[in-house]
Amino acid sequence: MSGTMIPIAGQPHQRVCYFFDSDIGGFHYGPGHPMKPTRIRMCHSLVMNYGLYKKMEIFRAKPATKREMTQFHSDEYVDFLSRITPANIGGFSKEQHKYSVGDDCPVFDGLFEYCSISAGGSMEGAARLSRDKCDIAINWAGGLHHAKKSEASGFCYVNDIVLGILELLRYHPRVLYIDIDIHHGDGVEEAFYTTDRVMTVSFHKYGEYFPGTGELRDTGIGKGKGYACNFPLRDGITDQNYKTIFEPVITEVMHSYKPSAVVLQCGTDSLSGDKLGCLNLSMRGHASCVKFVKSFNLPLLLLGGGGYTMRNVARAWAYETGLAAGVELGSEIPVNEYYEYFGPDYRLDVRSSNMNDLNSREYLERVKNIVLENIRSIGGPPSVPLQEVPRLPHDQVMDDPNQDEDMEDPDVRRSQRDRDAHVQPEGELSDSEDEGEGGRRNTKDRRVRIGSGFGIMDGMNRGKGPIHPFHIPAAVAAAAGDRSGTETPTKEKGSTNASVIGEEVAMDLDTPEPPLSTAPVIVHGEGATKEN
């Protein structure tokens, strides 16, 4: 039985594209590592069992290819990620040190496939937004904001956010990036540090905390001076205090910068009770940021990010998926594959704790005034010369997503493509053929071994050297297919077989292994259908 969904009054209807690949839950960073991709599958289980599939289109994006990743990342780095495995890791010790792979960013089975799925969803979501195929695109497997041009960092290997923004820049003159993860969005800021085409705004914990960047005075250089905005926070900030800084800053950014598209990284390690976080936001306080950004009615790409208490990550992202689709989810969690992990109350809410808020009113006001003054100093939106939109191979598929419809069996009552793209009209009283879709489950218990604790802060004091900002014009040229001496990037269908973890091993209480069958949705992307 589906959970309750309450329509939000007074909101305009917005078309939502939701990206999910069932393979994502099968990857495993290793024993004791806090990053668990299973959290995305837990979120998807809630999304399906609440019945949100009736309110939006669901797609399985094609995994990003090596060529597409090199629109931002260096060729050598991407090639290294595609070749290294746990079996041959001994032959790459020099490259591991060079690319900061190991420790926080371990080598695990299916590493490159994992990166491809994450990047593919963000890039296709951006492509659909640019072509007016939807108003909001969601990829909870994305949001890996620490990855650099030639370096892994903070559990992130490929920066899907930068790749998605580059896709948006082909059609949009100005893109706004907002980061509400507890960690500074250093990889995205560094990539666009020298351009005014992208404005980055990050609210994060600062001071003796990974990655150690994001100071108030870091505002960009050269042409990008003033277009990097950082709001450093202290431990324990509450919903109300967060609201008093987030909404005025974003309002001023919208007024001064006038973006034509927005990317919002929704890292949930800023929630109360996160295993690596130290802020005190409730689920509703976190979600209010999504609701506020959505209210500007701009093309919006919602991405995941950090979040290490999995049951809370799933709760928050499912609730925010509902807000994107124009409904508020009921507080009683419906029965789903991971139901036992939401005990003992089986409620959707993530509540704030009684921890002390070290962000005084005086401190927040002082920082807010400085940030607002920096934003106003840019003097209005920068102009962008008109130019022809460069064409890439996937444009044709995007322009005609139904080009393969003549190949479908006319005797089939309802094609899978139609089922995936079906959005239930308001007032429809019967699920009809969809009846029971949210309730299939397989509760066979498969277990994962968990070892000693491991934290993102372990890598904070390792010397990384000076930051070398990535120059945007080269990236935009690469996104346009103008890479000298190389072919234009092409879409290739990649394999996304998940790694097998093990048969008989112990289990951490908060680490469910994905069930053998997921919620019954068969999703597709860019005209290709792929069954789970």
Question: What is the per-residue pLDDT for 198?
Answer: 98
Question: What is the per-residue pLDDT for 416?
Answer: 53
Q: Is the pLDDT score of 109 beyond 80?
A: yes
Question: What is the per-residue pLDDT for 420?
Answer: 58
Mean pLDDT over 253-263 rounds to 97
In angstroms, the CA 91 to CA 143 distance is 30
Question: What is the per-residue pLDDT for 387?
Answer: 62
Question: What is the per-residue pLDDT for 10?
Answer: 84
Highest mean pLDDT: which of 64-78, 372-386, 515-529? Answer: 64-78
Q: Is the pLDDT score of 175 beyond 90?
A: yes
Beta bridge partners of 230: 202
Between residues 219 and 429, the one the model is more confident about: 219
Give residue 429's pLDDT band: very low, low, confident or very high (50, 70, 90). Answer: low
Nearest to 146 by CA among 112, 175, 184, 95: 184
Question: What is the per-residue pLDDT for 414?
Answer: 59
Q: Which residues are CB-neighbours of 412 under 8 A, at least 6 positions away? A: none
Question: What is the per-residue pLDDT for 423?
Answer: 66
Residue type, 13: H
Question: What is the per-residue pLDDT for 3?
Answer: 77
User: Kind of pairing, strands 5-7 and 198-205?
Assistant: unpaired
Whether 146 is a known active-site residue: answer yes
Q: 171-175, 260-264, 289-293, 443-447: which has the minimum mean pLDDT?
A: 443-447
Q: 105-109, 418-422, 482-486, 501-505: which has the minimum mean pLDDT?
A: 501-505
Mean pLDDT over 21-30 rounds to 96
pTM, 2 dp? 0.78
Q: Is the pLDDT score of 209 beyond 90?
A: yes
Q: Return the SS3 of 242.
A: helix
Domain 5-27+36-62+122-378, CATH: 3.40.800.20
Residue 211 vs residues 67, 145, 180, 328: alpha-carbon distances, Å: 28, 11, 15, 34
User: Kind of pairing, strands 327-329 and 5-7?
Assistant: antiparallel
Q: Is the pLDDT score of 254 beyond 80?
A: yes
| Site of tokens 């919903």 | 239
What are the tens digits of pLDDT across the range 137-172? 999 999 999 999 999 999 999 999 999 999 999 999
Q: 105-119, 190-204, 241-255, 405-419: which has the minimum mean pLDDT?
A: 405-419
Beta-carbon-side half-sphere exposure of residue 411 (alpha carbons within 13 Å): 0
Mean pLDDT over 63-88 rounds to 97
Mean pLDDT over 332-340 rounds to 96
Between residues 192 and 434, the one the model is more confident about: 192
Mean pLDDT over 4-12 rounds to 89
Mean per-residue pLDDT of the chain = 82
Nearest to 314 by CA among 274, 268, 264: 268
Q: Is the pLDDT score of 477 beyond 50?
A: no
Q: Could you tell me what percentage of the chain is helix, strand and coil, using 3-state DSSP and rounding each to the nearest 5?
A: 35, 10, 55
Give residue 487's pLDDT band: very low, low, confident or very high (50, 70, 90). Answer: very low
Residue of 28, 145, 146, 184 marked catalytic: 146
User: Kind of pairing, strands 198-205 and 228-233?
Assistant: parallel
